[in-house]
Amino acid sequence: MTSKKLSVTLSKYAFLAPYMLLFVAFVVAPLVYGFVLSFLRWESMSPLPPEFIGLENYAKALLEDEYFWRAMKATFIFTILSLPLTIVVAMGLALGLVSVKNRSGLYRAAVYFPTLVNVAVVGIIWRWFYSTEFGLFNYFLESPLAAFFGLGPLAWLTSVDTAMPSVVLMNLWWHVGAPAIILMAGLFQIPTQYYEAATIDGAGAWHRFWHITIPQLKPVLLFVIIMNIIRSFQVFGQTYILTPTGGPELTTRVIVQYIYETAFESYRMGYASAMSWILFAIIAVVSIIQFRAMRSN
């Protein structure tokens, strides 16, 4: 290897080093540490030393713990409700942003703005919006105009049926900006000639969207979907601020919140680690399937 080649190789690693250092220290190391913990009974308040118990933590979570499954169910419901809604709304916004000619910067900023606000602030404001008796939403829903349309006040965060949809709605407002901007960037990448050719051939707006936009946008769309699913499985801040104690009948206590409570309120580190690894496995499997699907296209 010539000295020039060597210095190129070295400089590659030198550029990577700061990131890798942080990545190993704050991602890989805790991950491995957590994996080891998941096989131990370690209650960090106990004077007893950690004890190796094999797969007991995993078995307990998967087979015995009712609350684990309730939290899993809440997480799945959040994901299932939130994903299609986010994608459809983000797509609509992206299409809108692309077609805006004047002051486009302003509109883009407006769409992205809620994402910049801290989740705690968003949560506290929305909790007030959702207040059943004295909140903003019900104030409008109680008006004669709403009654005319057959609408009435809702229980929002306080009923088993509406608690999770309420969280999803807030999440949508807060978080739709990022996917919308990414999709918008994707839309700009589609060559306009395709549309022109299709128009000449007599394709309508719907055909152009379905046969040009969607196929051309596929990689970006898949990326947005995968990131959204990962984010949805990891949902925590939104539910924790809106419903700190897990909502009516624990319908909004998601898995990350349950893990957090187990680790940092009950100090059952081993058990919490096992549940984290189960979550990690689920996210990993879902992501692999999606990446495969993406590659095959």
Partner 1 sequence: MRFEKLKELPIGWIIFFSFYLVVSGFYVLKSMRTSIGDEDVIELRFWNGFTGRDGDKMTSMVKRFNAENDDIHITVQRMQWRTYYNKLFVAGQAEREPEVFISHAKSLPRFVRADFVRPIDDLINGEDGIDTSDIDEIVWESVNIGGQHVGLPIDVHPLGLYYNTKLFEEVGIVDESGKAKPPSNQTEFVSALRKLKKDRDNDGRIDQWGFMFFFFPMHIIHSWMHQFGGGTYFNEDFTECIINNAENRKALEFLVDLIHEQKLIPVPLPQDSAGWDGFKQGRVGMFLGGIFMLNDLRAVEEFDPNNKIEYAGAFTPTVGHKPAMWADSHVACISSTIDDRKAKAAWRFIKYVSDNSLEWASGGQVPVRKSVRELPAFQEMQLHVAFAEQLPYIKYYPKLPYSIEFERSFRNNTSSACLGAVTPEEALEKIQTEMNEIIARDRELYGDIEAN
Residues that bind partner 1 (CB under 8 A): 43-48, 127, 131-134, 142, 153, 157-158, 160, 242-250, 261, 264-267
Report the alpha-carbon distance of residue 130 to residue 170 in Å, rounded: 10
Nearest distance from C-beta of residue 126 to partner 1, angstroms: 11
Taking the least distance from each CB to partner 1, the nearer of 18 and 144 is 144
Nearest distance from C-beta of residue 43 to partner 1, angstroms: 6
Taking the least distance from each CB to partner 1, the nearer of 64 and 201 is 64
| Burial tier of 130 (Cβ tally within 10 Å: 0-12, 13-18, 19+) | buried
Nearest distance from C-beta of residue 128 to partner 1, angstroms: 8
Q: Which two three-digit tokens encode residue 72? A: 């899993």
Longest C-alpha distance within the chain, in Å?
A: 82
Region for residue 203 given its phi and psi (left: phi exceeds 0; alpha: psi -120 to 50; beta: otherwise): beta
Taking the least distance from each CB to partner 1, the nearer of 179 and 261 is 261
Taking the least distance from each CB to partner 1, the nearer of 97 and 263 is 263
* Nearest residue to 34 (alpha-carbon basis) of 241, 263, 296, 295: 263
Nearest distance from C-beta of residue 76 to partner 1, angstroms: 20
Q: Whats the size of the chain, residue-wise?
A: 297
Taking the least distance from each CB to partner 1, the nearer of 127 and 224 is 127
Residues 6+ positions from 279 with CB-CB distance below 8 Å = 233, 255, 256, 259
Taking the least distance from each CB to partner 1, the nearer of 41 and 231 is 41
Nearest distance from C-beta of residue 48 to partner 1, angstroms: 6
Nearest distance from C-beta of residue 31 to partner 1, angstroms: 19
* Nearest residue to 133 (alpha-carbon basis) of 156, 109, 113, 103: 156
